[in-house]
Structure 1
Amino acid sequence: MPDLATALIAENFARDAGGVLHVGGLALTELTKEFGTPLFVYDAGTMRRTYRALREAVAGFAEVDFSVKANPNPAVIRVFGQEGAGAEIASGAEFDAALRAGVAAERILFAGPGKSAADLDRVIGGGIGEIHLENREEMARVAAAAERHGVTVRVALRINPGATAQGGAMRMGGKPSPFGFDEEEMEAAIDAVEAMPRLRLAGLHLFAGTQGLKAETLLGQWAYGLGLAARMAERIGRPLETIDLGGGLGIPYFSGDTALDLAAIRAGLPALIATLRANPLLAPARVVLEPGRYLAGPAGLYLARVLAVKESRGSRFVITDGGMHHHLAASGNLGQIVKRDFPLAAVVDAGSECTATAVVGPLCTPLDMLARAAPLPPLAEGDLVAVLQSGAYGLTASPTGFLSHPMPAELLVEGGEAELIRARGA
């Protein structure tokens, strides 16, 4: 069985006869000559294939939007918008990015536990489609902003579900949480919104976990969400307009991870569809999934150039110009309890025997480690390494100001052409 990096390259990218890694028909060796390193490269073709496969798998049950926090570059958002996706945002700046990408304001929803008054003014003034309320203070801020703008704002309640709905690599529900209203206070929160004339309670938002790789876990969470939606609709006495079941769809990052089985997802949907159709208060609702990592992650590579190779007390270190300042997740410092290696590959690999290799960055901290024991061929100064699964939670989820290294460039590749979507240093 091939290692994870080899399998991902075969699935999404290609190597030529000389072992050079290509993305969207372009050699990464040539792209790095033109745009330098470190460098993020995103393949629009992979994004489109991933989006279409998921949309087809959940057809008849849910629509698929894109969670902008995973990769807020407007060019990336634009790809998914062209495929028909709306956008889930978590800040006013992400609202602006989605608009620049061509997403209509009414197709944007705003989630997140700490929405400022300024951001609420920005999005309400801009005609946002829906705001997801997560606490009482926020409820009042949205109502006040709606009053200032003289509009009625469509809102949903984010519910922190009970323990039976938990799942995924990072639990978002079933425990004390800053996110949303606890399930046991849902009815009181519903009544509070209903008492505010400038707010129109349209739906429910559930996000029980993230990085879910098991279809049965996700299907169980979605079924639980439909149950909560039924309770909400009964409380307000009218059909819901939106049921947002969150994202949480995972991708394989580590050895032993198994990709999410879309066929198993599809096989489990008839029961959920029947639940919707049997309830006249749920049947009219738009059911939404809003993944980010699942859609953007596999399309991205982070490229770094080898600066030195050294031996230290029996261990071999490859030192590169890229590191945790651009890709915190790959270093294992973005919420991982156990630090494991993302899939890494040499950009040029002629089939040499691989050995376990530590790959580190240029920062003055032992945390700056892109791999601890990645299977790589012999590398030397000037060679290139690629971190796969880097299209989500990469640059903007990283401490880019640490040690003041310049920002890397970002490229979007499609149809054999590369578009510079962030200039180096910008």
Structure 2
Amino acid sequence: MNDELLIGGQPASAIIAAAGETPLFVYDFQIVRARFAALRAAMPPELSLHYAMKANPFSPLVTAMSALADGIDVASIGEMRLAIQCGADPAHMSFAGPGKRDAELEAAIAAGVTLNCESAGEAARTLAIMQRMGRRAKMAIRVNPDFELKGSGMRMGGRATAFGVDSPQVAALVRQIMAEGADWRGFHIYSGSQALDPDAIIEMQAATLALAARLADEAGASPPHLNLGGGFGIPYFAKEQPLDIARIGAALGGALAARPAVLADTGFAIELGRWLVGECGVYLTRVIDRKQSQGETFLVTDGGLHHQLAASGNFGTVVRRNYPIAVASRFGAPAEETATVVGCLCTPLDKLGDQIALPRADVGDVIAVFMAGAYGASASPSAFLGHGPAPEILLGG
């Protein structure tokens, strides 16, 4: 069988013809809608579902997500402004990340966005700016918890870190924020990302609830809101299994039903980025040269790590592994050879696939790199060597 890859029901060749060029990113929003529906069905009804915009800030996608999600989580003034332009409600937006500049704090206060304060120093600057502006700031505290998310691809808490306030310092900071007249919005507790073990996430969420209750008791104030973070991973590589969200949702529902009295009136949310959009994206890049070197076959493409840094293995991975890759024009064909897929950059780091079993691909054929919906275009060095960014297309938005 020799079928062509379909994305959103359209042949890859037709999408490329409409775009006019390769490389390009294509996002199928039907996949996102389906994942969001599955998440809604699995999670407790009282849980708000937020989109972590850093995963993919492509504006048509953010516009579609703003209508779908209960809130948007941003990590810069640029993301905040873009989210607002795309229709997101600032009242349901939070702003996290260390090193927020005074101008960012001022803009968030003016817009009514909740600031997740990462340190006592940032909180003090926020309070000073609030007093100068004569406008009440919405402030949550990002907590560096006493635990970490086991098995996570990137750990964000439970150790010395630039992220969040160490838990022993939180109660005093809550009291200070409230005493100075800010609108204290609660806690943001995020301990890791890209976890595929449901038991680890269940344990983390239970520990997060317990920690929030303890901090609230210490502060003498119930938190209006608790952001439980995210951490939901997706399977990029062979033998990895999709996360059992029904199991996680059932456990979280039970934990919320039995939560301590100090959290009785608290609103709850999780923030997900990669899990929602990672699988919706495909990176399409054309073979411009086929060559042999010392008995090995190399497929040289017009794309590369300047667009898809993660697929090259240079974005937070210790051991490089291949993302799923296919020859788009021969999607159903059996493998005929082993080839290494490289990009057009003048560096040996520019490798999209190492020794992959593929149908034969010749000059002009298109290579599809899957799992390109999160941390792709915006997380890659598109200015490197002057090749420029790749176009992005949203289907079904």
What is the TM-score when the length of structure 1 is the normalising length? 0.89
Q: Is the 8 A contact 1:166 1:173 kept in 2?
A: no
The answer to whether residue 375 in structure 2 is matched with residue 393 in structure 1 is yes
The answer to whether residue 318 in structure 2 is matched with residue 310 in structure 1 is no
Flag the 1:238–1:343 CA change in 2: closer, same or farther, 3 A: same
Q: Which residue of 2 aligns with 1:139?
A: 123
Provide the C-alpha distance between the structure 2 equivalents of 1:202 and 1:172, rounded to a whole number of angstroms: 21
Q: Which residue of 2 aligns with 1:348?
A: 329
Q: Which residue of 2 aligns with 1:23?
A: 7
Deviation at 1:63, TM superposition (A): 1.3
Q: Is the 8 A contact 2:44 2:250 kept in 1?
A: no
Please list, as runs of the form range in 1=range in 2, the aligned pairs for 1:372-383 lying within 5 A after superposition: 372-383=354-365
Mean alpha-carbon deviation: is it higher for 264-273 or for 375-384? 264-273
Provide the secondary structure at the position in 2 that maps to 1:308: strand
The answer to whether residue 227 in structure 2 is matched with residue 244 in structure 1 is yes
Partner amino acid, structure 1, of 2:347: T
Provide the C-alpha distance between the structure 2 equivalents of 1:107 and 1:244, rounded to a whole number of angstroms: 12
Q: Which residue of 1 aligns with 2:249?
A: 266
Provide the C-alpha distance between the structure 2 equivalents of 1:113 and 1:345, rounded to a whole number of angstroms: 39
Q: Is the 8 A contact 2:25 2:392 kept in 1?
A: yes
Provide the C-alpha distance between the structure 2 equivalents of 1:374 and 1:109, rounded to a whole number of angstroms: 42
Provide the secondary structure at the position in 2 that maps to 1:163: coil
Deviation at 1:18, TM superposition (A): 4.9
Q: Which residue of 2 aligns with 1:325?
A: 306
Q: Which residue of 1 aligns with 2:188?
A: 205
Q: Which residue of 2 aligns with 1:421?
A: none
Instruction: Give the gaps of 5 or more residues in structure 1.
Output: 1-16, 416-426
Partner amino acid, structure 1, of 2:271: E
Q: Which residue of 2 aligns with 1:173?
A: 157
Q: Which residue of 2 aligns with 1:119?
A: 104
Provide the C-alpha distance between the structure 2 equivalents of 1:280 and 1:163, rounded to a whole number of angstroms: 23
Provide the C-alpha distance between the structure 1 equivalents of 2:106 and 2:58, rounded to a whole number of angstroms: 23
Provide the C-alpha distance between the structure 1 equivalents of 2:164 and 2:277, rounded to a whole number of angstroms: 25
Tell me how many residue pairs correspond in the alignment: 395
Q: Is the 8 A contact 1:60 1:273 kept in 2?
A: no
Q: Is the 8 A contact 2:117 2:142 kept in 1?
A: yes
Deviation at 1:392, TM superposition (A): 0.6
Q: Which residue of 1 aligns with 2:279?
A: 298
Provide the secondary structure at the position in 2 that maps to 1:375: strand
Provide the C-alpha distance between the structure 2 equivalents of 1:392 and 1:30, rounded to a whole number of angstroms: 23
Provide the C-alpha distance between the structure 2 equivalents of 1:355 and 1:61, rounded to a whole number of angstroms: 52
Provide the C-alpha distance between the structure 2 equivalents of 1:45 and 1:342, rounded to a whole number of angstroms: 22
Mean alpha-carbon deviation: is it higher for 135-144 or for 363-372? 135-144
| Identical-pair percentage | 37
Which of these residues, 99, 107, 131, is aligned with residue 84 of structure 2?
99
Deviation at 1:192, TM superposition (A): 3.5
Deviation at 1:233, TM superposition (A): 2.0
Q: Which residue of 1 aligns with 2:168?
A: 184
Partner amino acid, structure 2, of 1:119: E
Provide the secondary structure at the position in 2 that maps to 1:69: helix
Provide the C-alpha distance between the structure 2 equivalents of 1:377 and 1:165, rounded to a whole number of angstroms: 40
Provide the secondary structure at the position in 1 that maps to 2:272: coil
Provide the C-alpha distance between the structure 2 equivalents of 1:74 and 1:256, rounded to a whole number of angstroms: 34
Partner amino acid, structure 2, of 1:34: A
Mean alpha-carbon deviation: is it higher for 367-376 or for 186-195? 186-195
Q: Is the 8 A contact 1:181 1:189 kept in 2?
A: no
Deviation at 1:235, TM superposition (A): 2.7
Q: Is the 8 A contact 2:172 2:219 kept in 1?
A: no
Please list, as runs of the form range in 1=range in 2, the aligned pairs for 1:127-166 lying within 5 A after superposition: 127-128=112-113, 130-163=114-147, 165-166=149-150
Deviation at 1:24, TM superposition (A): 1.4
Please list, as runs of the form range in 1=range in 2, the aligned pairs for 1:276-287 lying within 5 A after superposition: 276=259, 279-287=260-268
Q: Is the 8 A contact 1:167 1:208 kept in 2?
A: no
Provide the C-alpha distance between the structure 1 equivalents of 2:97 and 2:390, rounded to a whole number of angstroms: 28
RMSD: 1.6
Provide the C-alpha distance between the structure 2 equivalents of 1:97 and 1:213, rounded to a whole number of angstroms: 31
Provide the C-alpha distance between the structure 1 equivalents of 2:151 and 2:213, rounded to a whole number of angstroms: 21
Q: Is the 8 A contact 1:239 1:280 kept in 2?
A: no
The answer to whether residue 345 in structure 2 is matched with residue 363 in structure 1 is yes
Q: Is the 8 A contact 2:147 2:191 kept in 1?
A: no
Deviation at 1:183, TM superposition (A): 2.1
Provide the C-alpha distance between the structure 1 equivalents of 2:395 and 2:176, rounded to a whole number of angstroms: 48
Deviation at 1:170, TM superposition (A): 1.5
Deviation at 1:53, TM superposition (A): 0.8
Q: Which residue of 1 aligns with 2:208?
A: 225
Q: CA offsets per residue over residues 254-275 of structure 1, 9 Å max, x none? A: 1121111122213322431223
Partner amino acid, structure 2, of 1:226: L
Provide the C-alpha distance between the structure 2 equivalents of 1:201 and 1:70, rounded to a whole number of angstroms: 27
Q: Is the 8 A contact 1:55 1:63 kept in 2?
A: no
Deviation at 1:245, TM superposition (A): 0.9
Q: Which residue of 2 aligns with 1:89?
A: 74
Provide the secondary structure at the position in 1 that maps to 2:123: helix
Deviation at 1:60, TM superposition (A): 2.7
Please list, as runs of the form range in 1=range in 2, the aligned pairs for 1:59-74 lying within 5 A after superposition: 59-74=44-59
What is the TM-score when the length of structure 2 is the normalising length? 0.95
Provide the C-alpha distance between the structure 2 equivalents of 1:24 and 1:105, rounded to a whole number of angstroms: 31
